[in-house]
Structures are given as structure tokens and as C-alpha cells.
Chains A and B, each alone.
Chain A
Amino acid sequence: MSVNDKNPGFAGDTGEFPNLTEADIRGTAYVGTRPLDGGHASVAGTMPYQLATRGPAEGPIFTGPYEERLAKVISRYPDRQAALLPALHIAHEVRGYVSPEAMEEVAERLQLPPAYVRGVTTFYTMYNLQPLGKYLIQVCTNISCNLCGGEDVLHAFLEATGTEMGEVSADGLYTVIEVECLGACGFPTAVQINERYFENVKPADVPTILEQLR
């Protein structure tokens, strides 16, 4: 069974639902991808920001569609400070991590002290502070997944990528880390790779998943 036939949201053994395809369940066609400028202002702050495809690696972050998106986000709150998390998401989406320079740019845009922005950025675990592999593989080892072998899946990923936890693999493709509960406990082991969930992952599936990412 290929990874794409795996049941990404239903309970139980996927083998019992051979006719459900990934597209059926996930509704990929319906979800689609969001426009770079964020679409309607009400949802402009909610793009996936751990993407394998990134924006320009140099120059200012908030230009063109990204600037438009930030303006839309700011318009939705009573003060500019509230746009801080969404602004950091944009920086993360473009560069793949939040650098000190990115924090300064965000601070300038939102008229906040850079030290304050740094304090907030470092509070949250999803803002990566240094460049990672193209694919960030986050394996849940919290209780429900742990009961069903989450740690074995974590070790399988570490072994297959030849990395230690948090390292970038030699080819620059993978970084594997342990993550706290992903909220998919009925489908253990839950693994998040960039913006996408892989569910019901067993150690034996690991090579297939890595092959598909390549």
C-alpha cells in the first residue's frame, strides 16, 4: 500500500476501507492552495508556513504579495501588536526560519521593540530559529502515539535519515524532531512533515515516506 492510500483521518485499520483515496478524504481538490496575498482579509494570517517551497532568500520579506497580506492581517485587529504571530508566520514561510534580521524587520513593521519580538518568537515552538532541512519531520511520541509505538517510528526516521534529533541530514533534505501531541491521537503514530500530516505511520512505512518526499 502506498502512503497516499493511507487513511489520513479516519479511525482504525485503513485496510478496511480500500476504496478511500487520499483525495477523497483530504479533499485536496477542495482545499487547494491559498493565494500568496492571503485571499480574504479574514483568513490572510493562516497560510501554511512550513513549506518546502520558499520565497526569496535575500532582501526584505514584506514586499509584493507578502506586504499586501500583512496589511490585510493588521486590518483585522484593534492594534498592530496582535499581528505579530501572523507576521512571524509570513517571515517563516518566506525564509524557512525566523532569523534575527527577520525579527527586526517584523518589529519595524509592527512598531514594536526588537527585543519584545524576540521574546515572543522564542516562546513558541513552531518558529524555528535556524535553517532546517527542506523537510521538517515531526514525530509525535506523546501518550497515545507512544502506546502504539511512536518512539519506534521516531527511531526509524532518525536511522533512515542518518541524523541525530534536530540535525540537518547531509543532503540538506531532512530534519527529524520529536513533537508533543499533534491532535491526531486516534491515528497513531501521527507524523507531521512540513504542513502535512501523515497518520497511522508504522516504522516499516518510513522508507516509503522518505522516498516520496525526495
Chain B
Amino acid sequence: MQDKRKHGCGWFKGRRTFLGAALAAATVFAAPGLHAQQGVTSGEIVIGALGPLTGPFAFIGAPGRDSIALAIEKINEAGGLNGRKLRLIFEHANTPAESVAAAKKLVEENKVFTLILASGSTGAAAAADYVRAAKIPTYNIYGATPIIRTPFAKNIFHSAIPGAEASGKSMIDEVFRAVPNAKKVGVLAGTYAFPQSHLKTIREQMAARAGVELVVEQFDAAARDFTAQLLSMARQKVEAVMILGSFTEAGFAIKQAPEKGLPATTTWVLDGSGVNDGIVAIVGGENTKYLHGYYNVPYFPTQVNDAPMAGFRKLWIGKYGNPPEGRPNLYDMVGYGSMYVLGQAIKNAGPNLTWDSLIASWEKLSDAKPSSMGGVDVIFPETFSATDHQGGRRLGSAAIVDGKWKVVR
């Protein structure tokens, strides 16, 4: 066996090898970040996303997956972004632990270029620390939790679901619009992350209203029996109740309310996930007169007489066939619209795509909407800046008209 060093063939003795290594090292270290271009090739950009596909929150994650895939398909059909096609890798994540594991897998194993958190607040809160540390550009499209928003992170952006402060304020406004002189207001809050973040800000904001007492009762996720909470509300004679939870939880609570002694004229104000047509079937069409809520997008999914919704529904059915009950829903609309906003940020970043160039481009987006890239506008336009990464701030006021929710203001 020959000793290579004896014959002058060692690692640093070969000039070509040395120059090659130096060039490679220079390329790596001169790049804006060590992993800045992972997930990007000359012809493809890999987008990672995570969310719950089964379990009680599948109504969030499954639409997230489907709608992001729909937007990606349309963007690719239109030629892609700066010559590159998009490819989605979606990971199921239900629990906080699964959310962290899914984020790690997408970033470290699948080497995605950017990450979309298509989970609710629970998943977004769980993945927050990891995505902050990984510095990967991340789009939180459904999570209202403050944990993903505070402290501010340069790499994390938020879509059409604003922070709990804005939606909490909107709910309080709805209460006092319906019952201007309310003195006792109830809050029925789920014990999981999204309702709890809402509850915190509602308590703070209501504390500033003199002479109004807040009655708070809590329930576990997927609860169907609200005996304890409703009896407490009835005993304290609340005039309006804000429900912080899903439409099924809200629906069964409202349905049970008369049995527990709450007057049929009680005003109910629901959060964004409660504003769902599924609730009409639960409470009965005749009991919807006193239901109010806010909505994160300009149309309710069933407002198919409005051209953008009709167009979106047509696209959705074109890809997935006749939808099951309740689909496409709010999360389909936000997922689809958000993917277009992200697409616009990627496009504006130009062909030299890095994490830094994407973040810089994203922070300059103003009034970004799907129609700018040939999509349909099913979200309010989103604007970002270097110090404010909340894209969507507007909330519509919703009520039930002819048995269906509508965004009325």
C-alpha cells in the first residue's frame, strides 16, 4: 500500500483540491445564513406545513393542507415563482409534542425552505420556540396565541387570524352593540390555548369598563355537556355570553341553555371558530336570532352569490370533488389566501432566494392579496412591515341571515 503523503498527494498539497475546498467554504460562509437556501433548487421550492389531520381539531389542519395544496397547484399551473415550482410537504401534528416533532422533521430532515403552521393556537404555541431558534421563515396562518407573537421574531409572520387582542375587542364590541347597557356579561371559555389567550385579553379589556361584571366559566375541549357552566350563568342572570371555543362546543352550550334556565333572548357572541354554519343545525334555525360573531375573512364560505366565493368554491370542487359538510370552511379560505401571500413574498424576493431575502421581501408586502397573482380574494388584503408581522388586521361582523352566517359589516 502506498503512502500518499510520500508522493505529494496529501489533502492540502494538491493545489486544485485546496482551491476547491476554499471556494466551497467561501460559498458557504459568505451566504447570508448557513441553511439559507435549503429547500430551494433551480427548479423547485419546498414548502413545509404542519397541522392536525385527525382528532377534534382536524377541521383546522385538513383544510389547511387541502387549501395550501390547491393554491400551490394554481401557482404552479401559472408558471411557478421565478421559474421554480412549489412543492408541499405536510406533516400531521395534533398534540404540542407532535407539533414540535413535525416542525423539527420538516426543517432538519425534509430541509424545507419555509414553514407554514397550519395548526391552531395549540400547535403554534408549541412550535414557537423551535421556529424562533431555527430562524426559518415561518407563516403562522391560524394561531391566535400570543406565544407565537411575543417576543417579536424576525422570521415569524402571521396571516388573517389576528392576535387575541383584536378579536377579543371585536367580541366585546359585538356584545355592547347587541346589549348596549349590559351589566353582567358571561364568558364561556375552552381550557385550551386559543380560548385561553382570548380570555386573558377579554378580562383585561373588560376590566377597563366600569360597572360591568364578568362571569367566567370554563370547559374542556370537545365538551358536550355544559350543565355546570350554564347553571352558573343562569344563577348570575347574565345578559350576554361570549363563547370562546369551536362551533360544536358553542352549539351544544347554546342548545342546552334553555334547559338550564337561561332566557331564550340571551345574546350569544361567538369567536371566529364558533362562527360556522354547522352551529345552525345544532341549535336549530329558529334559535339563531341572538347569535353574533366576527369573521376573519370578507365572506362566509356559503356566501356563494359573491363572485370571489363562487370562484373559490369552483376551484375547490375542481380539485377535491363535492365537498363534505362544512367544507370549504374558514380555514380553507385562509390557507388558500395565505399561500398566495407567501407566494407573492417569494416572488418579490427574486431568483436569489434565501431566508434573508424572503424575510426582507415579506416585510415590504403591502395590500397583498391572491388576485395579484391570479387567485381569488377570499381573505382581506395583508400588509407587513419590519416591525409588524401581522398581515391581516380587519375583522368582519357576522350574523345569521336565513339560516346561514353572513359577513354583514
Is the A/B pair a real complex? no
Give the B-binding residues of A (Cβ under 8 A): none
Chain B residues engaging chain A, CB cutoff 8 angstroms: none
